[in-house]
Amino acid sequence: MQINIWWQIQLAKSQLEGTQFVVTKFRSVKDRETGILKQVEVPKRIKPWWFQSNEGKVCFSVRYGSWTIDLAKGKPSVEVESGEELVKALTTIKIAVEAGELDSQIEIASAKLRSGFGK
């Protein structure tokens, strides 16, 4: 979870600075000529957790897999004024996760995510 929040912070910062933030992963690919599997490094797609509202504000929610985590009871999202405030809010949430303040919400989302694999 902490890595994903860090990725979101870095993605938001890169958008503010007009730079590219790329995370890579390794993928197994079969060589067409030899038939041997080899590992190649490819960029990992990171979907931003935020969008811009019609009023020009930035809205975001914290995700665990495909599930949205309630930051407070019945409050799954946050609205901030700008990209700079988005970075500050994501940093605050990262600190809360590291302190264990969202452990119960993460455990609920984790259980829901795991239950989808048992079908």
Please determine, for residue 1, whether its predicted confidence score (pLDDT) is greater than 80.
no
- Reference 59, options 17, 22, 103, 89; nearest CA is 89
Cα–Cα distance for residue pair 105/43, rounded to 1 Å: 30
Q: What string of DSSP letters covers 68-104?
A: EEPSBTTB-EEEESSHHHHHHHHHHHHHHHHTTTTHH
Please determine, for residue 2, whether its predicted confidence score (pLDDT) is greater than 70.
no
Domains of the chain: total: 1
- Render pLDDT for 12-53 as a digit per residue (tens, 0 to 9): 999 999 999 999 999 999 999 999 999 999 999 999 999 998
Question: Residue 68 — pLDDT band, cuts 50, 70, 90?
Answer: confident
Which residues, in sequence order, are bridge partners of residue 23? 44
Q: What is the mean pLDDT of the chain?
A: 89
What is the residue range of 34's domain?
2-115
What per-residue confidence (pLDDT) applies to 119?
Answer: 55
Per-residue pLDDT, averaged over 79-106, amounts to 90
Higher pLDDT, 69 or 92: 92
pLDDT above 70 as % of the chain: 97
